Amino acid sequence: MKAGAFLVNTARAALTNEAALVEALRSGHLSGAALDVFSAEPPGPNDPLVLLPNVIATPHIGGNTSDVSAHQGEIIADEMERILSGERPRFLVSPAAFDDFSWTRPRPVPRPETLAQLRTRGSPAISDLDARPLRESGSRETRPAPSRLPATPEPVAVEKGTPTAMSHFTTFERIVREFLTASETDAAFLAFAANRVFVMHYALTDASLEFHMIFDNGSVKAGMGAPPTRSDLTLKMKAEVFDGMMTGKINAISAAMSGKMKFSGDTGKAMQMQRVQKDIMRLYSEARQRIGDPGDLSKPGPAPAGRSVSTPPAAGAPPAPTPRPQPVERPPEPLVAGDERDELVATVRELYEKNLITATGGNLSLRVAGREGELWITPSAMFKGSLRADTMIRINMQGEAMDEEAGTPSSERWVHTEILTARPDLQAVIHTHAPWATLLALTETPFLPVSTEAAFIGDIPRVPFIMPGTHELAAAVARALGEKGVAVLMQNHGLVVAASSLRRAASTTEVVERYSELILRCLTLGKQPPVLPEDVVKSLREVGQMMA
């Protein structure tokens, strides 16, 4: 397309090369784009085509006009009239299917070979473009994982009304095993695994169950326990929540935002699981039908670890009672915790009120006093305007939550841990979506020493767009910060500031935002902003590094 043109695509995502389109929009070759279709629908919140300022994005609704809806309704009504009148419809997707149609005869049952052929097909793509990620470079070190699960004995036959020694968690474990076994040979799972390496890890805390699925270039391996290699996505929840999500009773996004499900891992890879989510639910539901209803999973039961799942009660012996531990009542944590969390909460609210962080965008961390290698960090996907001390998450330098009942730490936790691991002189990290600083990064405008405050900070390096929530982004930001830096701009993603205290990090964030605005306003007015003399800047920069 010629320079300065606008691209409009309301038809099919496969008509465009999205990577080339992003590059053309970033470079200015294209002035803008309006897109109604994407290779993965819905696109992720950090998809560059959604974030670029010269793109208008709509969620595949461009064809839903009033005229089209009315016209579609007329076509359907007309087709139904034709069928009721004994005529052949005009718009048949599968004409052969209508040859045997009858209002009165029983619906025909597909032949076994037809069903077998249908099972070999993959599930429908998310959109018309079956986008697959490139093969991962390098090899992933793994220990051998069993290709099949150990055989699970048949359940004990029990007459109606007769109690059984098997708890609801025992039945639930049998369902999980059945589900995992089926996943290894399911056609949709095998199709998803083609040209893909992806490791899923589930941890169901109250049932003491862990299991995993490994999609590895055309094969699927599943098993109980933690995966033999680092997982790309780990989901932690109670058995009741997992069962509810798999049967459609609980919404996964709501579970994540409420803290009922905790997740960690590669955000980009996690989005790929949308492609087989329906198939995961299908296989689990089928396993549930074969094994039976596990009962009320919200009630406590004996932990299944280390016991036989098939031992029946002795003949004539009464069933062993299921131990029910009494719940331990704990007083709710006070709004004032008396430690670093109080400062975190106050700073979050301050930055939120100043529009430097958004409702769910932005994150803060602070070292835990007296505990080497531990941080307090803000939670993921929770409204920033109402965070409390008891919603802060304590993590280690690997980004792992230290408390079992904690929620999900920020998806950008690795940016924090990478910086604070490399810089023991720093105590706090703040990532904001400060609008003027973000605009400075988007326009590739340098941060200039237009005042003594700005000179204290010095040059601010800019990191090109890297998928948020990844180790790659964290490493790039830490490298850009270096041994003496205090701030880094992330293109399409915001500002990161690190300092010797949370107060200083917040103050520096505000300074960067204020002078980013002044610099950009000067340039908008056609004026190059004057800067301080070079010798003054050098002196102030040295003082600023010591202060930070």
Q: How far is CA 418 from CA 23, 330, 397, 479, in A?
A: 29, 35, 8, 9
Return all residues near 177 (Cβ < 8 A) that are at least 6 apart: 149, 152, 224
Residue in this structure with the two tokens 């005529």, named with its chain if needed: 87
Instruction: Extract the tokens encoding 142.
Output: 């793994």
Q: Tell which wins on pLDDT, 116 or 172.
A: 172
Tens-place pLDDT, residues 534-543:
887 777 777 6
CATH architecture assignment, domain 168-291: 2-Layer Sandwich (3.30)
Q: 425: which strand partners?
A: none
Instruction: Tell me whether domains 168-291 and 340-547 share a fold.
Output: no
Q: What is the pTM of this model?
A: 0.49
pLDDT recorded at residue 130: 45
Tens-place pLDDT, residues 153-185:
333 333 333 333 345 678 899 999 999 999 999
Give the sign of the dihedral formed by CA 226, CA 227, CA 229, CA 235. negative
pLDDT recorded at residue 5: 97
Mean pLDDT calculated for residue range 400-410? 81
Q: What percent of the chain has pLDDT over 70?
A: 80
Q: Residue 55 has what DSSP assignment?
A: E
Strand blocks (E) in 397-457: 428-432
Q: Tell which wins on pLDDT, 157 or 425.
A: 425
Instruction: Extract the tokens encoding 364.
Output: 């803060």
Candidates 3.40.1350.10, 3.40.225.10, 3.40.50.300, 3.10.20.30; CATH matching 340-547: 3.40.225.10
Return all residues near 487 (Cβ < 8 A) that are at least 6 apart: 457, 460, 481, 495, 496, 497, 498, 508, 512
Say what the alpha-carbon torsion angle 185, 188, 194, 200 is, to the nearest 10 degrees: -80
pLDDT recorded at residue 443: 92
Q: How far apart are the first and last CA of the chain?
A: 48
Instruction: Extract the tokens encoding 263.
Output: 């997740």
Instruction: Extract the tokens encoding 305.
Output: 């670890």
- As a whole number of angstroms, the distance between CA 377 and CA 399 comes to 10
3-state class (DSSP) for residue 434: coil
Is 119 within 8 Å of 286 (Cβ atoms)? Answer: no
Q: How far is CA 210 from CA 154, 235, 291, in A?
A: 22, 10, 19
pLDDT recorded at residue 317: 45
| Buried b / exposed e along 295-328 (16+ C-beta atoms within 10 A) | eebeebbbebeeeebeebeeeeeeeeebeeeeee
- Strand pairing category for 233-237 and 262-265: antiparallel
Query: Given pLDDT bands bounded at 50, 70 and 90, which one contains residue 547?
Result: low
Q: Tell which wins on pLDDT, 161 or 430.
A: 430
Tens-place pLDDT, residues 18-72:
989 999 999 999 999 999 998 877 777 667 888 899 999 998 888 888 899 899 9
454 — phi, psi (to 5°)?
A: -65, -35
pLDDT recorded at residue 519: 94
- As a whole number of angstroms, the distance between CA 351 and CA 374 comes to 23
Strand ranges across the sheet with 262-265: 219-224, 209-216, 197-204, 233-237, 262-265
Query: Given pLDDT bands bounded at 50, 70 and 90, which one contains residue 137?
Result: very low
Query: Given pLDDT bands bounded at 50, 70 and 90, which one contains residue 306?
Result: very low
Tens-place pLDDT, residues 387-402:
888 889 999 998 888 8
Average pLDDT, the chain: 81
- As a whole number of angstroms, the distance between CA 340 and CA 368 comes to 7
> What are the residue ranges spanned by the domains of the chain?
5-57, 168-291, 340-547
pLDDT recorded at residue 123: 53
pLDDT recorded at residue 520: 95
Would the pLDDT of 495 be above 90?
Answer: yes
- As a whole number of angstroms, the distance between CA 257 and CA 267 comes to 15
